[in-house]
A and B are shown apart, each in its own frame.
Chain A
Amino acid sequence: MREQSTTARPPAERSPAQEGICQEADGRGDRETPGAGGAALPPSRGVREALPIVLGYLPIGFAYGVLGAAVGVPLWAIVGMSVVVYAGSAQFLAVGLLDQGASALTLVTTTFLVNLRHTLYATAIAPYLESMGRGRLAWVAAEVTDESFVMNMRAARGTRSLPFGFTASLNATAQLSWITASLLGGLVGGFVGDPLRFGLDYALIAMFVALLALQTDHLREVVIGLVAGLVSLAFWTQGHSTVGVIVATLAASGVGLFFPAAEEDSDAGTGPKEAKGPPVEGLPRVGEPEATWGTTGATGQDGP
């Protein structure tokens, strides 16, 4: 019933110009050219779009597991957090707090504050999800992370509407890698040294750098990136990384309103296209890891 509602789709603000950017970004290497509709985003494509996240989550999730085992967190709790909480920085912080013997209240409060930024992601991605029932929305919500957000939004640039099957498989692949890595790290525990010492913690930074390089072809994006980066940097150096990310995102996006969007340069009249990808059923749902850097724990590493 709900899916028959005639609610209009969000106005399409995306233009062919933006699609061009996306296609350019997608045209080579590991990805294929997105089509115009949801049909171009099958679940299998979601799995592939998750691969850069997997490269980042595996080493950091592993490090989280090792750290948890090292301070005596039981394996079921190490993995359980990756399934139920699925938020890298919060999980690193939780391990540190457990090591210090913090109370449950401290644990929960810290987690809440560190993860509040997800509100921004859920708000921004809502207009791009295809029309779907509440159950599916509730499912997608569970796996919103820093990385899944940016990868989903990147895909939305090309097609305007994200099919449930695509988003769910992208997210599930990412969380599965986070859970698996946590489990392996927890099992190996103290037998290895710092698993990130050789630079694998740079994988997620490299992914963000790549996405930035691919999404800043227009003045507006460059300005947004610079403002956000500098505001965040200012908070970061004062030790307020968590709130810094939120303030920086809001401030930079606000400043961005004063610059013309790419589509306004070329053709502002394109209406929103509705992607009509057939809903894909039966996607397995996985946990939700996310990498966190903004909220650095004592170790300075944040996973998903």
Chain B
Amino acid sequence: MDGVNLFLAILAMGAVTYLPRALPLLALADRVMPPKLLRFLQGFPVAVLAAFAMPLVLAPEGSLEISAGNLALLVTIPTLLVARMTRSIIATVIFGSVLMAVFRLLGGG
């Protein structure tokens, strides 16, 4: 793909990404929503978090792997405890990343 086409493609990618982000906001901001709908939408944050995290932790390579060989699972268990104890996101992120690095280095990975 030459430069001009790539440039145009990126603009189009931006447009098709932007519309799903913008249309609901523009259409729904300042509207009163029925309580039931609001309650439904309030479930989204936790649902999204779990929908992303669980597969990456339990099946990092694409298939379910609940074993000591699953580094993501090994790291996540103490990371969860740190999150509950410190209630600090930054501390949890640093702890989890460092622990993962240590495991990978030890494992020669």
**Could you list which residues of chain A lie within 8 angstroms of chain B, going by C-beta atoms?**
5, 7-11, 13, 24-31, 51-52, 55-56, 74, 77, 80-81, 84-87, 90, 94, 98, 101, 103-104, 107-108, 111-112, 115-127, 129, 131-132, 134, 137-138, 140-142, 144, 146, 149-150, 153-154, 197-200, 202-203, 205-216, 220-221, 224-233, 236-237, 239, 241, 244-245, 248-249, 252-254, 256-257, 261, 293-294, 300
Contact = CB atoms under 8 A, between A and B. Distances in A.
B68 interface: no
B86 interface: yes
B70 interface: no
A154 B89 CA distance: 12
Nearest to B92: A210
A200 B101 contact: yes
A86 to B, nearest CB: 7
8 contacts: A30-B91, A141-B25, A200-B100, A205-B72, A213-B80, A214-B87, A252-B46, A254-B40
Contact of B48 (A11, A127, A228): A228
A153 B6 contact: no
Contact of A202 (B31, B32, B75): B75
Interface size class of B (residues with CB under 8 A): 35 or more
B26 A137 contact: yes
B53 A138 contact: no
A256 B50 CA distance: 14
Contacts of A205: 53, 56-57, 72, 76, 96
